[in-house]
Amino acid sequence: MGSQEVLGQTTRLASSSALLQVLFRAVTFALNAFALRYLSRELIGVVNVRLTLLYSTVVFLAREAFRRACLSGSTRRNWTKTINLLWLTVPLGVFWSVCLGLVWLHLLEVPDPSVVPHYQAGVVAFGLSAIIELLGEPFWVLAQAHLFVRLKVIAESLSVVSKCVLTVILVVLYPQWGLYIFCLAQLLYASVLVLCYVIYFVIFLGSPEATKKSFPVARMKSLLPSLVEDETFVNWKEARLTWSFFKQAFLKQILTEGERYVMTFLNVLNFGDQGVYDIVNNLGSLVARFIFLPIEESFYVFFAKVLERGKNVKDQKKEDVAMAADVLESLLKLVLLTGLTITVFGYAYSQLALDIYGGSMLSSGTGPDLLRCYSLYVLFLAVNGVTECFTFASMCKEEVDSSQHPLHLWLLQRKHLQTSDGLASLPNFGAHLYHKWSDHWFLRGVLLLR
């Protein structure tokens, strides 16, 4: 597949992801705003901070490194070994789910059962949903590597909408169920997501379209772990690269979810205040999730295919390097313009947005100030995502290992979690950006071509 074709499909993937996410998230945005009228702040805080942190930590630690490693390079590879490697995410997810579940149940503060009942069931359900989602990891990577533009977007959108619809129905009809509502909704989300990928590949594999595209997998059985005769079970080059990304995953997860870890382990806010904080945080990060995240995920695939990992810029094809430079420059301009727009309007209309979304529960107190901080925070998110997807797509294993930089530990200097928590995250991203520019030679080399 030529560089121009890869660029075209990647652009369609990013734009389709962003547009469909905006469409489906607009529906869920309205449904969530409706459901807020029926829920207590404490219940929102436990679900959106405590339990969601458990789920996101298990999923991230179990799969992020595998995704980074297995999406690198050409699609012409021994996919049997790659699929074998990807299935290791499931036992790893079980391990993290059990270990962290015990921490969440026995070492952290347990909510008052009279205010938030069924907490133990919530921990089990969110841990189980993470394991269910990991069952679809080989399908996700295979689809992403071959640039199946619509599959990922439709699968995620359907799962989000089904989760949101079920939540609203149960909140209105059975509000006394408490955490059971969110347990069922989370399990439905993971199940729908995995089923969408499985159903698609059941229909696609063996079809004329798959034959026409010379798809490397011919039947569903090939997507299960299997031994390769007279060869190793996995590709050890990919496995070593996965280990390098895995070591870095801990720092990245702390940087990404730092404020939630502070709230969860240090108890600096009660569950009610955590609920308000998380709602404001979700509103402030809408642009990051709708626009920046699809761009980062899609163009990571593009850079990984166009550029040869670990090679000096002078040793690569000039036309590929020039295209990568053009794309990187355009992406930085796009995300900066978007970030500046959000900063200007977000700062001016924070209180109005919160009043429309959640009423006086959100618009009174420190909510508007926190959302204004996040409006500035968006600028750092914009540049960080694009530069990170580029650098990690072109780093060799040794560079990934060396990127464990002391500057990443800026997070540990955050001493207080107050209304300026959004600003407290800025040093982390400043450190991220400085590290990428100062330590990664390839990024400097490509930008100098401009």
CB 298 within 8 A of CB 393: no
Report the distance separating Cα 353 and Cα 348, nearest Å: 10
Handedness of CA 430, 432, 434, 437 (dihedral sign): negative
d(CA 170, CA 185): 9
Q: Which residues in the chain land under pLDDT 50?
A: 406-424, 426, 431, 433-443, 445-449
Rounded CA-CA distance 212/311 in Å is 33
pTM reported for the whole predicted model: 0.72
Q: Which residues contact 359 (CB under 8 A, 6 or more apart)?
A: 36, 37
Residues in contact with 425: Cβ distance below 8 Å, sequence separation at least 6, in sequence order? 258, 259, 377, 380, 414
Q: What pLDDT score does 437 carry?
A: 47
Helices assigned H by DSSP within 257-366: 258-266, 271-284, 286-287, 293-306, 318-348, 350-358, 360-363
pLDDT digits (tens, 9 = 90+) for 18-49: 666 666 666 656 766 777 778 887 888 899 88
Amino acid present at 444: R
Helices 293-306 and 137-145 sit at what angle, rounded to 10 degrees?
60
pLDDT of residue 26: 66
pLDDT of residue 24: 61
How confident is the model over 170-182, as pLDDT tens digits? 988 988 888 999 9
CA–CA dist 400, 241 (Å, integer): 8
Please work out, in degrees rounded to the nearest 5, the angle formed at the alpha carbon of residue 243 by the alpha carbons of 156 and 436: 75
What 3-state DSSP class applies to 110?
A: coil
Identity of the amino acid at 151: L
Taking the C-alpha atoms of residue 282 and residue 278, their distance in angstroms, rounded to an integer, is: 6
Q: What angle do CA 227, 80, 229 make, to 5 degrees?
A: 35
Tokens representing 98 are: 């059990």
Could you give the residue ranges of the DSSP H alpha helices within 135-178? 137-145, 149-173
